[in-house]
């Protein structure tokens, strides 16, 4: 539910990073924040627990410049990944325009990825949105890990993306690998979906 | 995948004339009454209209994101304890106070004011503004 202001020629769109707990959603945003520091005029907002886990959300406003004469402001959000925070996680999805699903590539997180994707589908449905229709990008995070066994990309594609057929990226949020391409992809899908209203 | 024609945008629409009217009302009824800053936001955290007295340098985008989330959290708490909603949402500080008011199901009015405006006067003024904005859809 992006807001297009015809008077100020400004578009505000909401992109939410979703995925299992400790999967790297906040790290994605932190990387974007460090990489584009000069474009982001404000601080990143994080509502965390004492143990440094996301309690409510992280928020990062991101100015991407002019598209079709409109000043486009992308609002990046993360949700808390922990299962117990579903009530707040659901609130963050209100008015979402585009989604990034950050999956954890570690073999023992296979079930957690599944649960989280299913939870996303249910929570979107509560807002009458379909996971098959909303602009969505999948990110297979933590490809840099050497110590723990990782799932092959083909296996993750089959597990999570067989029906969705969304664009996907193997990535490492901590090193920054494919973080920006993930973001660029979801921004372009989201803007394409908004084109009908930006005339 | 991506989008298709059935994808929905805002549940409301406002033309330029309506936005100008809203800004005028915010300025005349609230800023002129001594309010420091006022934001009309939607429940997703987008800013619809904003006015201030020229002396505020708030990060309004973060404020809008937090305010909508805060409102949604309080609203959910109300439902858990069996209330339809909590009618007064107000945070008092030493120098600045924040007042939240629901305009309708999609809009929220956030008012930031100091010691020179009493809560009673503010609520009166906010109610008038809310009525005027609601009038746009009647």
pLDDT tens per residue across span B34-57 = 999 999 999 999 999 999 999 998
In chain B, the number of structural domains is 1
Nearest CA in chain B to A162: B1
pLDDT at A196 over 90: no
| Residue % of chain A over a pLDDT of 90 | 80
Q: What is the pLDDT of residue B5?
A: 35
Q: What is the pLDDT of residue A141?
A: 98
SS3 A25: helix
Residue spans of the domains in chain A: they are 3-194
B48 within domain boundaries: yes
pLDDT single digits (tens) B104-127: 888 999 999 999 999 999 999 999
Q: Please report residues of A whose CB lies closer than 8 A to that of B62.
A: 42-43, 45, 59, 61
**C-alpha to C-alpha distance for A180 and A185, rounded to whole angstroms:** 9
Quickly count: other Cβ atoms within 10 Å of residue A127's Cβ.
14
* Range of the structural domain that residue B68 is part of: 44-137
- At residue B7, does pLDDT exceed 60? no
Average pLDDT over residues A31-41: 91
Q: Is residue B11 part of a domain?
A: no
Domain CATH number, residue B74: 3.30.450.30
Q: Summarize the confidence of residues A51-76 as an average pLDDT.
A: 91
Residue B15 binned pLDDT confidence (cut-offs 50, 70, 90): confident
Asked whether the beta carbons of residue B1 and residue A136 sit closer than 8 angstroms, the reply is yes
Of A61, A129, A132, the CB nearest to B1: A132
Asked if B110 and B100 count as a contact pair (C-beta separation under 8 A), the reply is yes
Residue B15 forms part of a structural domain: no
Residue B74 in domain = yes
Average pLDDT over residues A68-75: 92
**pLDDT band for position A78 (50/70/90)?**
very high
CATH of domain A3-194: 3.40.50.300
pLDDT value for B116: 92
Give the span between the Cα atoms of A110 and A119, in whole angstroms.
Answer: 14
Residue B123 in any domain: the answer is: yes
- Tell me which residue has tokens 């954890």: A104
ipTM over 0.90 threshold: no
Residue B39 lies in a domain: no
Measured between CB atoms, does A60 come within 8 Å of chain B?
A: no
Q: Please report residues of A whose CB lies closer than 8 A to that of B50.
A: none
From the list B47, B66, B72, the residue facing A45 with the nearest CB is B66
């Amino acid at each position: 539910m992006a807001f297009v202001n015809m008077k100020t020629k400004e578009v505000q769109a909401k992109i939410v990073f979703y995925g299992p707990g400790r999967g790297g959603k906040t790290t994605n945003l932190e990387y974007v924040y460090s990489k584009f520091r000069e474009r982001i005029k404000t601080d990143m907002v994080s509502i965390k627990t004492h143990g440094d886990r996301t309690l409510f959300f992280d928020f990062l406003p991101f100015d991407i410049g002019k598209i079709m004469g409109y000043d486009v402001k992308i609002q990046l959000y993360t949700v808390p990944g922990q299962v117990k925070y579903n009530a707040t996680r659901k609130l963050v999805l209100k008015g979402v325009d585009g989604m990034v699903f950050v999956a954890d590539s570690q073999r023992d997180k296979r079930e957690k990825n599944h649960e989280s994707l299913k939870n996303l589908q249910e929570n979107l449905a509560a807002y009458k949105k379909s996971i098959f229709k909303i602009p969505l990008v999948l990110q297979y995070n933590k490809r840099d890990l050497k110590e723990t066994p990782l799932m092959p990309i083909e296996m993750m594609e089959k597990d999570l993306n067989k029906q969705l057929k969304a664009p996907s990226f193997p990535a490492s949020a901590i090193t920054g690998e494919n973080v920006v391409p993930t973001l660029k992809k979801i921004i372009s899908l989201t803007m394409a979906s908004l084109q009908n209203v930006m005339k | 995948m991506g989008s298709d024609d059935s994808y929905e945008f805002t549940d409301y629409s406002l033309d330029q004339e309506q936005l100008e009217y809203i800004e005028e009302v915010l300025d005349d009824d609230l800023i002129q009454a001594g309010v420091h800053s006022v934001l009309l936001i939607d429940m997703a955290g987008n800013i619809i209209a904003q006015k201030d007295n020229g002396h505020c340098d708030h990060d309004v985008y973060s404020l809008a994101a937090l305010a909508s989330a805060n409102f949604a959290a309080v609203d959910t708490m109300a439902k858990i304890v069996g209330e339809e909603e909590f009618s007064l949402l107000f945070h008092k500080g030493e120098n600045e106070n924040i007042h939240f008011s629901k305009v309708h199901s999609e809009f929220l009015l956030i008012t930031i004011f100091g010691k020179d405006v009493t809560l009673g006067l503010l609520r009166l003024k906010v109610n008038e503004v809310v009525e005027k904005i609601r009038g746009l859809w009647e």
